[in-house]
Structures are given as C-alpha cells and as structure tokens.
Structure 1
Amino acid sequence: MANQKSFLSNKLATELVLRAMRPEDSDAVARIYLESRQHHFSWVKHPKLADFVTDSHGERVMVAVFGNEIVGFASLSEWDHFLHLLFVKEGWQGYGIGARLLEWARQAVNEPLELKVVVANLDAQRFYDREGFVPVRKSQLARPQNVTYRDGRK
C-alpha cells in the first residue's frame, strides 16, 4: 500500500495539471463540493449540487486534473486575496493536490492570502499550519465558529 501511494504521488507530481475551470467542468466540481460537504460539514443543512455556483459566484476557479478526472479545485476572490474554497475529491487527499492548488492561489494575489477554517475542521487547520499559514482571528459568534488564517510566507 505504501509503495502504491508513493507511486501515485510521484505520478501526480509530474502529471497533475492545474487549469482554469471551463463551463463543462461545472458538474464535476459541484459534485466534489457537494460530496465533501455532505461527509464533513454537518452544520450545512440540506446541501445541494447548485450550491457551488452560488458559493463561487464572481470568483476565479482553478481545477486540478489528473488524466481526464478533476480531482480538486480552488475558488479565489482576487479583489480581497481571499481563498474561499479549496476541496480535494474524496480518496485523493494526501497526495499534494491541495498544496498545488494553494500554491496557485498564493501566486495569483499580491497581498498575503487569507482564508477561514471552521474550528471543528482539524484536518484543514493542520494542513494550513503545515503550509505556513498563521491564525489571525477567531470568530466566536459565527456559527459554526471559525478561524481566519493569513499566509505567513508572504
């Protein structure tokens, strides 16, 4: 299993393509968003496939493609250097896809990138900590509570 993961990680490092989302990608990206929210965001009541279009409106969306499959995406609000969404398809976590999407977002803005993470999402917090982000605010009143992170590398 470890050798298989290493092999796939090496292939992804050389063959993963990041590109701007196209209209024909919308359904695949919306499915990744919906499935992740259904499995990991218990506070979201009745998530729908159409939520992606609403939640990313006006943002620049980059997709991560391996072979012919979209395996992740990021949605960036450039005017306020805010990474709104970053999702990796179920079963594809741990291969560096999120880090590649994050690097794209960092390069797309001139100011330090900011993002929010729900307090209960410990995996996301560990990921952003590893990637050099630092917590700058905690919103106690938001439901669910969240932490704002800022890129400590810029």
Structure 2
Amino acid sequence: MSPPLIRPAGADEYDEVGRVWMESWVSTGLGEASDFLLANLRARIRREIEDGWSLFVADDRGTIAAMLALHVPRRYLDMLFVAPAYQGQSLGRQLLAFSRTQMPDEMYLRCVRENEKAWRWYEREGFVFEKEEIEPSNGFTMKYYRWKKAD
C-alpha cells in the first residue's frame, strides 16, 4: 500500500481538517472533544490561512490522515497533527521531511510542554530546545524549538 499523498488542502476540506486536528489533539490527553472546540478549530483554519498559513494534508485515497500548517516566510512549522488511526506509521516523519523541502535551511516550532510524546519526537528529529513561555491565549506552557540544516 502506498503512503498518503502530501498535497495542499482544498478550501472544501477545511472542515474535515479541523476534525482531524481535534481528534489528534484529543489523542494527546490534553483536551476533550466538543462541538465548541471543533467550531473554534475550523474557524481558526480560515483565519490562519488569511494570515499566511500554507495548509497541507496527507491524503490516503480520499481520507485526510493528517494536517500540516506551515508559515514559510516565518520559517515556522505551526501545526502537525496525525489522525489517531494513522499514528505510529511514520506519517509524522514524512510530513516533517516535506516541511524540510519547504524550509530547507531552518525552521522553528513550538509544542505544549505537557505533550511529552511530541516534543521528545521533535528532539529525536533534530530540533533543539530554545525556551519555554506561557501562551496567553490558552494558558499552556509552550516549548520552543529550532532546527537548522547541518553545514
């Protein structure tokens, strides 16, 4: 079976991308699924695209398996969420490799401190911890990371 295809998300897919985002976030144990959360994520997708997001999906023969949001001018990997049914299949690694084709020299990201599985994975993938700060909009402590291409 071929791996999912990474491609730009279509505007008609934003609602489904929001659902994948919510299910993946809930799988971390840091949040609970709700219609309110889903509506907020769906609205945020549209706002973030207006603010410069490049939104990609991993398409598994018509099923959205993951979402990836990059802000290329800022060299920022903003969101990488894999649907629970696709976790543990190296899809995150494929999305990260794709991110490096879009931002080949350097990129930044942040991760919720309590999401240890995620930040440990980013560290194994070559990201270096820079600082921690509380995010005022949600109260989470965020860990900030940087990846730079080896010289």
The correspondence of residues 64-143 of structure 1 with structure 2, limited to 5 A, is 64-139=58-133, 143=139
The question of 1:15 aligning with 2:8 is answered no
Matched-pair contact (CA < 8 Å) for 1:30–1:53? no
Displacement of 1:43 after TM fit? 9.2
Alignment match, 1:42 = 31
RMSD, matched Cα? 2.4
**Distance change >3 Å, CA 24–CA 124, structure 1 → 2:** same
Distance change (3 Å), C-alpha of 1:25 and 1:140? closer
Residue 140 and residue 30 in structure 1: after superposition, are their counterparts in 2 closer, same or farther (change >3 A)?
A: closer
User: With structure 2 as the length reference, what TM-score do the two structures score?
Assistant: 0.81
Aligned match of 2:13? 25
Q: What amino acid maps onto 2:10 in structure 1? A: R
| Structure 1: gaps (5+ residues) | 1-10
> Residues 75-118 of structure 1, C-alpha deviation per residue, up to 9 Å, x if partnerless?
00111101111100122111111111111111112541100011
Q: Read off the aligned partner of 1:146 and give its amino acid letter.
A: M
Q: 1:149 aligns to what?
A: 145
TM-score by length of structure 1 reads 0.80
CA distance in 2, matches of 1:55, 1:43: 22
SS in 1 for 2:146: strand
Residue aligned with 1:115, SS: strand
Structure 1 partner of 2:45: 52
Q: What amino acid is the match of 2:73?
A: W
> Is residue 4–residue 65 contact of structure 2 (8 Å, CA) maintained in 1?
no
CA distance in 1, matches of 2:64, 2:32: 26
Cα deviation, residue 39, structure 1: 4.5
Residues 104 and 149, structure 2, Cα contact 8 Å, conserved in 1: no
Task: Considering Cα pairs closer than 8 Å and 6+ residues apart, tell me whether 1 or 2 has the greater RCO.
Answer: 2
Which consecutive residues of structure 2, in runs of 5 or more, have no partner in the other structure? none
One-letter amino acid of the counterpart of residue 60, structure 1: S
Q: 1:64 Cα deviation (Å)?
A: 0.5
Q: Report the secondary structure of 1:105's partner residue.
A: helix
1:62, distance to aligned residue in structure 2 (A): 1.2
**Residues 25 and 134 of structure 1: is their aligned pair in 2 closer, same or farther, counting only changes over 3 Å?**
same
